[in-house]
Amino acid sequence: MKNLLEVQNLTKKYGSKIAVDDVSFTLEQGKILGLLGPNGSGKTTLLKVLAGIQHPNAGTAHILGNSIGVETKGQTAFLSDVNPLFTSMKVDDAIDFYADFFTDFDKVKCDELLDFMKLSKNHRIKAMSKGMIEKLNLSLIFARRARLFLLDEPLGGVDPVARERIVTTIIKTYSEDSSIIISSHLVHDVENTFDEVLMLHEGKIILSGDAEDLRSSHGLSINDLFVKTFQELL
């Protein structure tokens, strides 16, 4: 299958600190990649570079053959680990905002997702809980027909019911055309969605491969493998 994302020798530094260290990997169309690692391992930085928010110090990243820039921002949907929406907005305003800026945004799909997430369009963002905001951001992201979805801690700080809805949305949104990268600490909740896994430690890749192959070769679930790998390292 065609590679949607190609990352080669990518390095990102903050001053003298290396956040992402010479990372290379590819991601095929239609695949879901689990990006795993403890805090400070470089997951968020890697996602921000792929989203075009940060710029690498060395190496390259290509999405559908285009190097990261304004064009790839139109093909990439980034779910940040913080709420990036203007708090003065209502849900309706946020939908209009996305529809204005992203040509691939589908309002009908967004309505369906909001219904599924049990969110009202009249809610004011500043009055919404963390879980509701997470679900809203996820609905906005997945209402886009983007080619690459970058989800940074999509389950962070939400209750188990909301988590289940979010995971269901991720699975429902899966299509052969697009790929998803999910960064999460809550490996157990999302591991069944992974086709591939990439574990980062201090910015370097320490383990990567097909999720099923890793399960069978180590005789462990991805969650147990994650715990075992980082227990040895930390």
Partner 1 sequence: MKAVIRQQIKARYKIFLGNLILLSTVSLSVLVSGNANALFGGGSRSLLTYWLQIAFVAIYMGIPIYCLASLIKLIKSMVFQDTKYLLLSLPRRSYSIFGGTFLTVLLEFALYAVCMFFWLSLIAAVPGGTKDYFFAVLKTGSFLGNLKAIYYFIFIKRFSALIQIVTIMLIYGTYVAMVFNFSFSLFAALFKHKKFPKILTIVFIYFVFDISVRSLLALSSIGRASIWVPAGITGLLAIGFFVGTCYLFEKKIEG
Coil, helix or strand for 34? strand
Stretch that binds partner 1, among 24-32, 90-98, 200-208, 216-224 (CB under 8 A): 90-98
Residue 81 CB, nearest distance to partner 1 (Å)? 9
Distance between CA atoms of residues 11 and 122, nearest Å: 43
Site for partner 1 in 101-140 (CB under 8 A): 101-102
**Residue 80 or 229 having the CB closest to partner 1:** 80
Q: Which of 65, 84, 157, 209 binds partner 1 (CB under 8 A)?
A: 84
Q: Which of 26, 83, 208, 223 binds partner 1 (CB under 8 A)?
A: 83
Per CB under 8 A, 73 contacts partner 1: yes
Q: Are 228 and 220 in contact (CB under 8 A)?
A: yes
Q: Given its phi and psi angles, is residue 37 left (phi above 0), alpha (psi -120 to 50 degrees) or beta?
A: left
Q: Are 37 and 200 in contact (CB under 8 A)?
A: yes
Residue 120 CB, nearest distance to partner 1 (Å)? 20
Distance between CA atoms of residues 207 and 90, nearest Å: 42
Q: Which of 41, 76, 183, 229 binds partner 1 (CB under 8 A)?
A: 76
Q: Which of 6, 96, 106, 210 binds partner 1 (CB under 8 A)?
A: 96
Per CB under 8 A, 58 contacts partner 1: no
Q: Which of 70, 108, 127, 234 binds partner 1 (CB under 8 A)?
A: 70
Distance between CA atoms of residues 98 and 45, nearest Å: 24
Pick from 41, 57, 48, 7: which is nearest to 203 by CA?
A: 41
**Residue 52 or 226 having the CB closest to partner 1:** 52
Strand-pair partners of 3: 28
Pick from 45, 57, 26: which is nearest to 148 by CA?
A: 26
Residues at the contact surface with partner 1, assessed by CB under 8 A: 12, 14, 48, 51-55, 70-71, 73-74, 76, 78, 80, 82-86, 88-89, 93, 96-97, 100-102
